[in-house]
């Protein structure tokens, strides 16, 4: 028993998995920082038997994580954002006197799609390095953490939202109840909140343990989200289960009394209850499967090294930090990591200190194997590296079961 539930406040969480002490997943290092002590924090996962929320127990101060955030969303999220925006535009009449807000708006790529149609937008993001990028694209951005206080201030200024987006930021929120209360306060009575979160069912069933890192405080089921929103007088009105990022929920939330009863939501709640997702039993063997995956991968890589193979990492992703550090895979195994983000190139991976190189190095060096550290982008990466594979290079996909392709 450990910790206090981030959603309902229960003080008796059940431990599910411990990944040990970890550096920050996006804490890439400069060459100078390699010689300095690197902070690590425990990465333990626990289950709340009352509201069913799976969560990590440690909260790294958000100021430490999000003030200089290397992840620019338009690098990988454009297709998903387009699809999300289209689904809202198809369902609602928005125009020049509407307002669309996004919490965790990053470089503004989603809001820009509304702005281009003359719909007023407002981004909110605490990262000081991305807000100027968004402003340049015509997305006004408040550089701050969203919560009750900011929401009330906006409301007093008469700024209330027809649509509030939170795309893959909801799991990052330390003050979950403050953010949901704030959303309720700033939302128009007939407005809609659209959130996207990784689905905990896919995380558990597909052993996607590398999606667990300190930025991701919570791992949501529909049941856990339903409990959270109900507490703040809001209701889930529709939920879609999408295949992106290894399994994502796109949830539409409204103030009660707005139209058809949410039949689809009730069906998903019943399905989760049938699968046992509301009980600890569903999560119990996860730790065993994660340890088995580690042993399998480490054995596979060491056999390849003993056979004289050269291996690199592909994508300096946050997932990669969890995978490499938990499995103890570092410089003895991988020569370097490639990533197409120029922000990351020339830096070093957290904990394992592998140098990040541009992807052009793959064809120049022709390593025998590339360990894929962003399996959620496997289709795009395999297409981009078709020539590497044609010339005899192989990818190792580590999750859900280590596989050479
Ligand atoms: Zn709880």
Please tell me the distance between residue 10's alpha carbon and the centre of ligand 1 in angstroms.
5
Please tell me the distance between residue 223's alpha carbon and the centre of ligand 1 in angstroms.
11
Say if residue 173's pLDDT is above 60: yes
pLDDT, one tens digit per residue, over 10-42 is 999 999 999 999 999 989 999 999 999 999 999
Domains with residue ranges and CATH for the chain: 73-283 (3.40.50.150), 307-404 (3.40.50.720)
pLDDT, one tens digit per residue, over 290-346 is 999 999 999 999 999 999 999 999 999 999 999 999 999 999 999 999 999 998 999
pLDDT at residue 123 in the model: 96
Question: How would DSSP label each residue in 265-334?
Answer: HHHHHHHHHHHTTTSTHHHHTHHHHHHHHHHHHHHHHHHHHHTT--EEEE---HHHHHHHHHHT--TTT-
Q: For residue 380, give the H/E element and its range.
A: helix 378-384
pLDDT at residue 376 in the model: 86
Please tell me the distance between residue 338's alpha carbon and the centre of ligand 1 in angstroms.
40
CA angle (135, 139, 141) in 5-degree steps: 70
Please tell me the distance between residue 317's alpha carbon and the centre of ligand 1 in angstroms.
30
Please tell me the distance between residue 46's alpha carbon and the centre of ligand 1 in angstroms.
10
Please tell me the distance between residue 195's alpha carbon and the centre of ligand 1 in angstroms.
20
pLDDT at residue 1 in the model: 47
pLDDT, one tens digit per residue, over 38-80 is 999 999 999 999 999 999 999 988 777 765 655 555 545 677 8
Calculate what percentage of the chain has a pLDDT beyond 90.
Answer: 80
**Any idea which of 159-163, 255-259, 285-289 has the lowest mean pLDDT?**
255-259
Please tell me the distance between residue 228's alpha carbon and the centre of ligand 1 in angstroms.
9
Please tell me the distance between residue 62's alpha carbon and the centre of ligand 1 in angstroms.
21
Q: How confident is the model at residue 369 (pLDDT cuts 50, 70, 90)?
A: very high
Please tell me the distance between residue 183's alpha carbon and the centre of ligand 1 in angstroms.
20
Between residues 132 and 141, the one the model is more confident about: 141
């Amino acid at each position: 028993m450990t910790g206090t539930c981030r959603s309902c406040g229960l003080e008796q969480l059940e431990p599910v998995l411990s990944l040990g002490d970890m550096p920050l997943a996006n804490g890439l290092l400069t060459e100078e920082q390699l010689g300095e002590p690197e902070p690590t924090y425990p990465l333990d996962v626990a289950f709340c038997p009352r509201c069913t929320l799976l969560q990590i127990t440690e909260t790294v101060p958000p100021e430490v994580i999000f003030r200089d955030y290397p992840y620019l969303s338009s690098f990988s999220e454009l297709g998903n954002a387009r699809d999300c925006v289209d689904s809202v535009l198809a369902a609602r009449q928005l125009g020049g006197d509407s307002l669309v807000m996004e919490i965790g708006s990053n470089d503004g790529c989603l809001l820009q799609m509304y702005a281009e149609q003359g719909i007023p937008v407002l981004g909110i993001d605490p990262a000081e390095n991305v807000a100027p990028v968004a402003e340049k694209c015509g997305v006004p951005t408040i550089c701050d953490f969203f919560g009750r206080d900011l929401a009330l201030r906006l409301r007093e200024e008469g700024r209330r939202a027809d649509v509030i987006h939170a795309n893959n930021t909801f799991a990052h929120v330390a003050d979950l109840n403050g953010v949901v209360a704030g959303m309720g306060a700033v939302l128009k009575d007939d407005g809609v909140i659209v959130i996207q979160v990784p689905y905990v069912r896919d995380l558990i069933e597909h052993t996607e343990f590398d999606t667990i890192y300190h930025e991701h405080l919570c791992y949501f089921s529909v049941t856990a989200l339903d409990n959270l929103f109900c507490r703040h007088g809001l209701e889930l009105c529709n939920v879609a289960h999408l295949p992106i990022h290894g399994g994502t929920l796109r949830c539409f939330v409204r103030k009660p009394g707005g139209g058809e009863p949410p039949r689809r939501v009730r069906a998903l709640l019943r399905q989760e209850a049938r699968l046992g997702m509301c009980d600890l039993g569903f999560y119990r063997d996860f730790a065993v499967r994660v340890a088995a995956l580690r042993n399998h991968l480490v054995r596979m890589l060491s056999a390849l090294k003993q056979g004289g193979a050269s291996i690199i990492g592909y994508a300096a992703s946050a997932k990669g930090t969890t995978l490499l550090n938990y499995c103890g895979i570092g410089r003895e195994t991988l020569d370097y990591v490639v990533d197409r983000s120029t922000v990351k190139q020339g830096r070093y991976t957290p904990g394992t200190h592998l140098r990040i190189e541009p992807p052009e190095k793959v064809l120049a060096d022709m390593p025998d194997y590339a360990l894929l550290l962003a399996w959620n982008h496997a289709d795009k990466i395999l297409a981009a590296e078709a020539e590497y594979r044609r010339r005899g290079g192989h990818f190792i996909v580590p999750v859900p079961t280590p596989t050479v392709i």
